Amino acid sequence: MGSDRDAHPLSRSADWPQAWLARTFPHAPNDVALYRAALTHRSASGRNNERLEFLGDAVLNMLAGEWLFERFPLAPEGDLSRLRASLVSESPLAQIAQQIGVGEQLQLGSGELKTGGFRRESILADALEALIGAVYLDKGLEVTREWVRGLLASPLAQLPEADALKDPKTRLQEYLQARALALPLYEVERIEGEAHAQHFAVRCELKSLQAVTFGEGSSRRRAEQQAAAQMLQQLVERS
């Protein structure tokens, strides 16, 4: 079994990545240089994928929005936004990238190569978005739409109900409003640690129900979300 360095050489052959493109895409590329750039991380020398990632992200969000708009004709804007965020977030994009072998094709600088950058979710997701940008420039919107829809077919089919994607604070607020109850009060109990590595403890209180919960996290928002989740669970158990 080869090492990570053997699987991801610092220099590529002159025909890289044409063999992989032929296996992965239903079309022959017009401009191979676009795909080489899409697979080149900024840690490597030469043209990298940051600009293509920017373009691919915009195209992906447009296509995902289009499909969700069609699939959920009665969903409000907030639900559609949550569904799209779930569909095109870093983790599912990285999984798709792994499935089609993007990691093995990445051109990385020596530092990223040594630390396993080809397995890092952020790098894989960014490269996939860059590839989408490359396909868009090389083949146009219709080909891009067809290819990306094939990639997202499984995640699209497995999307949860929009309500399941709401954060705990939102779900707690909706629970209380539906019962004409006052909204909770959040108060920071303490902050520990240095400025770059703080830890927050937050109190969530419902005075009308004499209920209090606590949450902790690396940010005030995370601590509040944890406290809200515990409060919601407590209310559901009471009912």
DSSP 6-20: HHS-SS--TTTTHHH
- Tell me if residue 4 is catalytic: no
Of the candidates 57, 112, 126, 138, the residue annotated as catalytic is 57
Reading the block at residue 82, the tokens are: 């949550």
Token output for 157: 């089919």
Beta-bridged to residue 216, according to DSSP, are 201
* Nearest residue to 170 via CA among 187, 180, 184: 184
- Confirm if 215 and 227 have CB atoms less than 8 A apart: yes
In whole angstroms, what is the distance from residue 206 CA to residue 204 CA? 7
77 is catalytic: no
Is residue 206 within 8 A of residue 219, CB to CB? The reply is no
Catalytic residue among 53, 112, 126, 129: 129
Other CB atoms within 10 A of residue 71 CB: 12
What are phi and psi for residue 150, nearest 5 degrees? -65, -40
CA–CA separation, 84 vs 64, rounded Å? 6
Active-site residue numbers?
57, 129
